[in-house]
Structure 1
């Protein structure tokens, strides 16, 4: 009986997971920006006791560029700049972070890179990130944080 309860508990935890980790042996599924073009637009939401805004460009020149900012109590906490690019027949999600004074968190020649894994129905899976199309005016971003071993959902609305 204990084994059954443990198995059911583990199964429930596994199915609650919305992010995947990149597997070098499996690699990336082939895709283009046309499969995530629904991300284009100006989005906003709430997290970390503040408001965030994120803007995504149309696919152009094999990339979609974005900017993000988090504001808490009318003060900038941090910015992100990045893009999703077409590379080697698939996609790559790259981010750079900046503090409120535009001082970069990563080294100047470094970015955080997240390889594409697969497309499934209304979701695009990258290493530790999942973009989910909910409607024309709503998108979820699931992010897995390595340090805390926690997954968070960010709900974006137009």
Structure 2
């Protein structure tokens, strides 16, 4: 519930994303199974990325594949202060991938309950993108990527663009 409230606040506080963001995510529907995939298909994501979203600066730092996962850390900074963090993992489960994350306020109080995660099963893989349920990671070039996240506001859903550049 805290995630929904915070998402609503962010949606109301910041202008709509560009039209390019609309329709960039896919949905995992009943009866679907995730396609075969390995962490090697996400390995390009490893590294430090920065960009802008929600009227602030965003940063993601992803580890290379190790064991059965990749770990990532996200933060949104507005007016010089952290709005929120996310801890993220892309895990290899069976013969496919799942993206899981947990949100934290700027003071590290969690949004989700202790044993809960927000899970995004894999819907589709292409040479340039990983499509999770409502969450797309698109490789634009070796130094640029876009993430599109579907956010719900009541009955309205829209895709929000996070445009990143690799930090070298």
Q: TM-score, normalised by structure 1?
A: 0.87
Q: Distance in 2 between matches of 1:130 and 1:76?
A: 24
- Aligned partner of 2:114 in structure 1 is 108
Q: 1:129 aligns with which of 105, 114, 135?
A: 135
**1:19 is the counterpart of 2:47:** no
Aligned length: 144
Which stretches of structure 1, 4 residues or more, deviate above 6 A after TM superposition?
none
Describe the SS at the equivalent of 1:142: strand
- Aligned partner of 2:83 in structure 1 is 77
Structure 2 runs not aligned, ≥5 long = 1-18
Shift of 1:82: 1.5
Question: Deviation per CA, 1:12-46, whole angstroms, max 9, x where unpaired?
Answer: x9xx5111010231210010010111110000001
- Aligned partner of 2:161 in structure 1 is 153
**1:42 is the counterpart of 2:45:** no
**1:52 is the counterpart of 2:52:** no
Q: Distance in 2 between matches of 1:108 and 1:142?
A: 26
Give 1 or 2 for the bigger CA radius of gyration: 1
Q: Distance in 2 between matches of 1:68 and 1:26?
A: 29
Q: Distance in 2 between matches of 1:71 and 1:57?
A: 21
Q: Distance in 1 between matches of 2:54 and 2:140?
A: 22
Q: Distance in 2 between matches of 1:140 and 1:55?
A: 14
Q: TM-score, normalised by structure 2?
A: 0.82
Q: Distance in 1 between matches of 2:24 and 2:83?
A: 26
- Which structure would you say has the larger RCO, counting Cα contacts within 8 Å and 6 or more residues apart? 2
Q: Distance in 1 between matches of 2:101 and 2:40?
A: 20
**Greater shift in the superposed pair: 97-106 or 18-27:** 18-27
Question: Deviation per CA, 1:57-116, whole angstroms, max 9, x where unpaired?
Answer: 000011000001111011110000020000021001001000011000000000100001
Q: 2:126 aligns with which of 92, 117, 120?
A: 120
